[in-house]
Amino acid sequence: MCTTCGCPEEGHDHHHDHDGHLPGTRITIETDILAKNNRYAAGNRALFKANGIFALNLVSSPGSGKTTILERTLCDLSGNLRCAVIEGDQQTDNDARRIAATGVPVKQINTGAGCHLDAHMVGHALEELPTREMDILFIENVGNLVCPASFDLGEAHKVVVLSVTEGEDKPLKYPQMFHAADVMLLNKIDLLPYLDFDVEKCLEMARRVSPGIRIFQLSAKSGQGMAEWYEWLRGKG
Amino acid sequence: MHELSIVQGVVELCEQHCGGRRVLAVTLEIGSLSGAVPEALEFCFEAATKGTLLEGAELEIERVEATGYCSDCGVVSPVETYFDSCPSCGAPALLLRTGEEMRVKDLEVE
Ligand SMILES: Nc1nc2c(ncn2[C@@H]2O[C@H](COP(=O)(O)OP(=O)(O)OP(=O)(O)O)[C@@H](O)[C@H]2O)c(=O)[nH]1
Ligand SMILES: [Mg+2]
Ligand SMILES: [Zn+2]
């Protein structure tokens, strides 16, 4: 049996015409498939607005340094700003435990087989966080440069993290994600002396895919460049 | 594999609109820059529709080609990537007009 549409033939093409059917009734829908996610995202956005929360959705490939950037940011900022974190990973609460060690409220979401956070999951996580006492919410998405691009969580900005060990052409290889982001953190610049990474070329490619993208070059390890990022956060974008 | 969540979204939308009748066919409109791969959608469709009113329904995917508007010369041109420059005046960026859609267009019910 054909596995694509369940019809008994094999190897035919799937552009069926409908002549073989008894005439059915056609119903026009014209609705965005992600409409439900977008409704939940709008709900989250309303909650952020009502409570004055600046929400950021951090996206990247696995291991670019999202959690390390957050650990350092939280240690340096949480004296003045009330921060909270939602951690998305397929499995484990390792990242949530790293964040909890900084003393900041954190909620882990495990997506299991899922490759991205969606707005509904984030809405439930928010129920368990002190949204009335929160200035900035960082949402660390599942490490994946593809799928999280399509799912609005209600954030003010998608912040894409790219580390210099990944190669400078990532913006062109994963254009949908870089197009969806309007802030980019170029991380691990402490490693530049050991690599052939061309920073200018990388920035140029990021701007081609996302004109007007705001870029911070930093190292979560050495602390270099973090001050500009903090300044932007304090000014809330 | 976010195509699976997309197909689940399709199933939900259809079940809301089909008035409890069996769905014979669904037509989707998928933009060429939407990030959803038609083959992957087809692949997930059978598994995701099992035991629903869409079980056995035909999936029809209409590809929507991407176009972009040039704010320099005002021309709308076909677009292949997020970073195409304007083919008519060479301006470096185009504003996408079409190509990002992921829509259920219509249904055929019993
Ligand atoms: N040299 C250097 N290493 C870094 C820097 N930032 C992070 N790392 C290292 O990169 C590795 C991955 O960092 P994480 O912060 O866990 O990365 P992540 O993006 O949260 O990873 P996932 O959540 O698994 O996607 C760790 O070994 C970090 O110590 C940096 O600025 N410089
Ligand atoms: Mg992490
Ligand atoms: Zn032009």
Any domain includes A198 = yes
Distance, CA B32 to ligand 3 centroid (Å)? Answer: 21
Q: Do A34 and B102 touch (CB under 8 A)?
A: yes
Chain A to chain B, count of Cβ pairs less than 8 Å apart?
121
Name the phi and psi angles at A233, rounded to 5: -65, -45
Any domain includes A15 = no
pLDDT in tens, A206-233: 999 999 999 999 999 999 999 999 999 9
Q: Please, which residues have CB within 8 angstroms of residue A196's CB and are 6 or more apart in sequence?
A: none
pLDDT in tens, A91-135: 999 999 999 999 999 999 999 988 999 999 999 999 999 999 999
Q: Could you tell me if B17 and B51 are in contact, meaning their C-beta atoms sit under 8 angstroms apart?
A: no
Compute the average pLDDT of residues A194-205. Answer: 97
Amino acid in the structure at residue A191 = L
Residue A17: per-residue pLDDT: 46
Q: Which chain A residue is nearest to residue B5, measuring alpha carbons?
A: A114
Length of chain B: 110
Any domain includes A12 = no
Residue A9: per-residue pLDDT: 38
Low-confidence ranges of chain B (pLDDT < 50): none
What does DSSP say about strands A136-140 and A54-59: parallel, antiparallel, or unpaired?
Answer: parallel
pLDDT above 60 for A15:
no
B106 interfacial to chain A (CB closer than 8 Å): yes
Q: Which structural domain range is residue A138 located in?
A: 23-234
Residue B1: per-residue pLDDT: 58
Any domain includes A140 = yes
Compute the average pLDDT of residues A1-27. Answer: 50
CATH number at residue A159: 3.40.50.300
How many domains is chain A partitioned into structurally? 1
pLDDT in tens, A44-98: 999 999 999 999 999 999 999 999 999 999 999 988 999 999 999 999 999 999 9
Q: Percentage of chain A surpassing pLDDT 70?
A: 90
Instruction: Give the residue whose CA is nearest to atom 10 of ligand 1.
Output: A65
Q: Which of B2, B10, B28 sits opposite A115 (nearest CB)?
A: B2
Q: Could you tell me if the CB of A95 is within 6 A of ligand 1? A: yes
Residue A10: per-residue pLDDT: 38
- Alpha carbon A186 to chain centroid, angstroms: 15
pLDDT in tens, A156-189: 999 999 999 999 999 999 999 999 999 999 999 9
Residue B6: per-residue pLDDT: 93
* Full-model pTM: 0.89
Q: Concatenated DSSP letters for chain B?
A: -HHHHHHHHHHHHHHHHSTTPPEEEEEEEEETTSS--HHHHHHHHHHHHTTSTTTT-EEEEEEE--EEE-TTT--EEE-SSTTPPPTTT--S--EEEES--EEEEEEEE-
Confidence class of residue A4 from pLDDT cuts 50, 70 and 90? very low
Measured between alpha carbons, how far is B57 from B71 in angstroms, rounded to an integer? 43
Any domain includes A8 = no
Pocket test for ligand 1, best of A57, A60, A61, A67 (most atoms within 8 A of CB): A67
Any domain includes A226 = yes
Q: Please report the domains of chain B, with CATH numbers, ordered by start residue.
A: 3-109 (3.30.2320.80)
pLDDT above 80 for A23:
no
pLDDT above 50 for A12:
no
Ligand 1 atom with least separation from CA of A62: 25
Residue A113: per-residue pLDDT: 85
Confidence class of residue A24 from pLDDT cuts 50, 70 and 90? confident
